[in-house]
Amino acid sequence: MTQEELDALMNGDMDFDETVEETIPSAAVESAQEEDEAKEEVPYHETDPDTYRVSAMNSWPPPPPTDDNKMVHQLDDVTKESEEKATEIFDLIEGISNDLGDGEKHVKTLNAVLKSNIELFETLSVKFPHVEAFKTQLTKNKEASKESDQILEILQNGGDTIMNVMDIMQYQDIHRQKIERVINVMRALSTYMNHLFAGKIDDSKRVASAVHLPGDTGTEDVVSSDDIEALLASFGQK
């Protein structure tokens, strides 16, 4: 109902029953049209938390404040899970490093035995040059000693690689600290904004905003539902 229609109704120039019949359907139609227009303006209106998907191509509507979309909540989960997985990886790497160390000890023990065998078969080959078995065993032990040295080198290289991996994994802790810094900055900004917009009056006790203020456009002729209810109440008292 416009201001002109309200004035005409108060002056008796317009029938109240006809006005109510015309106003209510019109208001319903206008409301439906406004809803359709609002839906057309929004790139997509998928606000169901179960179906909503964050997209960099759309800025509206904002994501629902679920645990999956709370930024600090997600970052806290990232730092917690990252630290837990890093601990598991370090434990596995430490186990591999210990196995490699044990392997080196066993190979060194084996090398000592092979070296002793080589010295023995060299002595026997000199004293008994006609016994081919001593020469054969001497050759086999020398070959086994070379292969053992290669295995030892592989194990040592593996240990060095494990140490490099552990050094690289240290960056994971640096990344966690960087994320925690971002979290602290975000929380500090949130606290600052809460203090900045804090008021002395409880929001439930605040006066409702006016429908129209001087300078507003498109609301000059709008009559609020409270005005209509007050008008109807005044007619009922007469």
Spatial contact of 113 and 150, defined as CB atoms under 8 Å apart: no
204 falls in which pLDDT band (50, 70, 90)? confident
DSSP code for 207: P
**pTM score:** 0.56
132 occurs within a structural domain: yes
90 occurs within a structural domain: yes
83 occurs within a structural domain: yes
163 occurs within a structural domain: yes
117 falls in which pLDDT band (50, 70, 90)? very high
85 occurs within a structural domain: yes
Spatial contact of 63 and 54, defined as CB atoms under 8 Å apart: yes
- Number of folded domains that form the chain: 1
DSSP code for 63: P
Range of the domain at 176: 67-198
226 occurs within a structural domain: no
3 occurs within a structural domain: no
Q: Which residue has the higher pLDDT, 96 or 68?
A: 96
40 occurs within a structural domain: no
112 falls in which pLDDT band (50, 70, 90)? very high
